[in-house]
Amino acid sequence: MRGKDGRLTAYAPSAGGVLRWTEVRPGGPEWTGPELVAPATGLDPRLTVAQGGDGYVHLVALRRTTTPAGEARTDIVHAIQYQSGRPVKDWSPLGTPYRDQEKAAKVGHPAAVVDSADNLWVFVRNAGGGLCARGQLSSGKWGNWKDLTGSGSYGTICASTAEEGRIDVLAPAKRGVMRWTKGPGAGEFEQLPDLKLQVANGSVSAQHTGEGRITFFWREADGGQVHAFRSELPAVPLDGDASGPVAVLRTPVDGHDCTLMAMRGPDGRPALAAYPTEAESAGAVWASTGEVCAGVPALATDASGRVVLAAFGTDGRLRVTRQKTTEPGLALEPWGIV
For residue 136, what are the domain limits? 9-245
Helix (H) or strand (E) holding 103: helix 101-104
- pLDDT score recorded for residue 144: 97
Q: Say if 180 falls within a structural domain.
A: yes
**Residues across the chain:** 338
Q: Say if 288 falls within a structural domain.
A: no
DSSP secondary structure code for residue 109 in this structure: -
- pLDDT above 70 coverage of the chain, percent: 100
Rounded Cα distance, 157 and 171, in Å: 5
Q: Does the pLDDT at position 232 exceed 80?
A: no
Q: Compute the radius of gyration of the chain from its Cα atoms.
A: 19
CATH number at residue 160: 2.120.10.10
Mean pLDDT of 89-97: 96
Distances (CA, A) of 80 to 39, 40, 65, 259, 300: 13, 14, 21, 29, 20
Q: Per residue in 236-271, pLDDT tens?
A: 999 999 999 999 999 999 999 999 999 999 999 999
Q: Say if 308 falls within a structural domain.
A: no
User: What is the sign of the dihedral through the CA atoms of 76, 313, 276 and 324?
Assistant: positive
Q: Per residue in 296-327, pLDDT tens?
A: 999 999 999 999 999 999 999 999 999 999 99
- If one counts the domains in the chain, the total is 1
Mean pLDDT of 96-107: 96
CA 278 to chain centre: 20
Is 142:130 a contact under the CB 8 Å cutoff? no
CB atoms within 10 A of CB 260: 24
What's this model's pTM, rounded to 2 decimal places?
Answer: 0.95
Q: Say if 270 falls within a structural domain.
A: no
- pLDDT score recorded for residue 10: 98
Mean pLDDT of 192-210: 93
**Residue-wise over 47-60: b if at least 16 C-beta within 10 A, else e?**
bbbbbbeebbbbbb
Q: Say if 286 falls within a structural domain.
A: no
Nearest to 156, CA basis, from 113, 92, 202? 202
Q: Does the pLDDT at position 96 exceed 80?
A: yes
Q: Say if 335 falls within a structural domain.
A: no
